[in-house]
Structures are given as structure tokens and as C-alpha cells.
Structure 1
Amino acid sequence: TATAPAAAAPTPMAEVAPARAARPEAFTAGLNQLRAGSFDDALVRLEVARRESGDDPFVLAALAAAHLGRLEGEEAERLYRQALDVAEAPAQPGLYLGLGEALRVQGRVPDARDALRKAAGHANASDQVVRIAQERLATL
């Protein structure tokens, strides 16, 4: 089971994936593995959830966070962008936060700053997302 050595914590999943009864059980199991830092195990469960739920932005975001935990920035970026394409406005700030981290992991600092600014400045951004985005911006 892979764990991230020194990556920043993935996007708080509460910001991206509120509970919803229609999501498959594999999604919940994958989130639990993600929270435990078991990124390989999380990927297995979240891929099952993706097959069962299609392009659910919350499942895509959880998959992205698992890849981010494995420091796989390009795959995390692709999944965060895919989630942003289908997500409703309330989920977007957390997705931009994750996208910013995926871009940072790739060394794409200007792009990471842009994504983090979108997260912090989004009309639907929670105080937690704003705080985290500002903290990460200060380190870039």
C-alpha cells in the first residue's frame, strides 16, 4: 500500500464529496482508504465506484485525490479537470483546490497559482477552502 511521502494533504473530501445515498458502497470504502492514506487500496475501490456511477464528479475527485496521494500529478490533474467539467458550482472550489495541488506536484507553479486563486475566489468557496488555498498560495 503506497503512502505519500511529503505531499500536501489531498483536498478535504468533505469539501468535494458530501454524502449522497445514490453513490456506490465502493465510494465510501474508497474514501475511508483515502483518509487512511492507503492510496493503492483507495484506487481499487474508487475504480469500482467509477464503473458503477459513471462520471460522478465526486467519484472522479476522490480518484484524483488518490492519484495525488501517490504523487501522480498528471493523472490527478486529468481527473480533477474531468470532474470540473461535470460538477455543479458548489463542488467547484474544492476541485480547483485539488487541481492546484496536482499542478504544483508537476512543478507547474503558475498554473497551480491560477487554480488556487480560482478556489479561493469562487463564490461558493467555504472558509476552509479559502484558508487552505491562501496557505498554499503563500508557499508557491
Structure 2
Amino acid sequence: MRDSGLSASQLGQSLFASPLLVDSLRHQAESLFYPVQLMICHHVEDYHAYNYPELIGERTDNVKSLINILESSTQKNSAWDMETAALFWRATQFKKHAVTVLQSLIKHRGEMTPYEGEYGRIATEMEQVFGQLILDSLVAVSVGV
């Protein structure tokens, strides 16, 4: 978020999901008996350094140390994402609602993408469930259910 025009003193501050949207998603998921897990989502600018720190050479120990410091600074589970901070910042800036639903995909080294093979089939099925859950949650909010 360094290029958002924020002063340096504002960088690193927490941004929050909309309680309205979180509650709606939780209600929809629980009504379908899907597990819900709320997490702190840390912003990561170099996703590959986070996922594969051993591939970045001499900075590996520094990357691992930073991850451990952030994850141990709270009693909550952590997730890492590149887009959530930007989304939450814009929602705050424009006084709108925002929430993210993060999916963990099994990442493959080499040629294969997360959407190929058996893991790709699983990921696609999960996204269909998430997609419908998100749409149902938004409809529930819009009609005041």
C-alpha cells in the first residue's frame, strides 16, 4: 500500500473486513454446515518469497523470520494475500463494505498450475461452493435477511 498516498506513519495499520458481510457469510456457511475460520490476513508483496523462501537465496532466513514474527504476534491464525489490503483500503477510503474469502490451493513447483490434475479438480469444486455461498450472502444483505 506504499503507493496509495498514505503518509509513512499510516503504513502498517490494521484494516478490517465489514462486520455486516462477515456476519452474512458466516450465517450462510453455518446454515450449510460449512466450517468458518476467521483469520488475520497479512499483506505480502512478494508472494513467491512467502511460499518458497528457500528459492530466494540469501534472503531466505530474513523472509522466514519476518513471517514467524508476524504470525507469533497474535493468538489468531494467519493467512497471507496480496489483494486483501488493497480491497480493504479502498473500502475504507470510499466508506464501502469489503470482505475476502480466501481459498488455499496446493501449489506445485514446476510446470503445473494449481488448476491442473486432481488438485485442480478439487480447487474448481471448492470455488463453485464458495461462489454460490458468496452470492447467497450478498443477496441476504441486499434484502435485509
With structure 2 as the length reference, what TM-score do the two structures score? 0.32
Greater helix content: 1
Answer 1 or 2: higher relative contact order, Cα 8 Å, separation at least 6. 2
With structure 1 as the length reference, what TM-score do the two structures score? 0.33
Greater strand content: 2
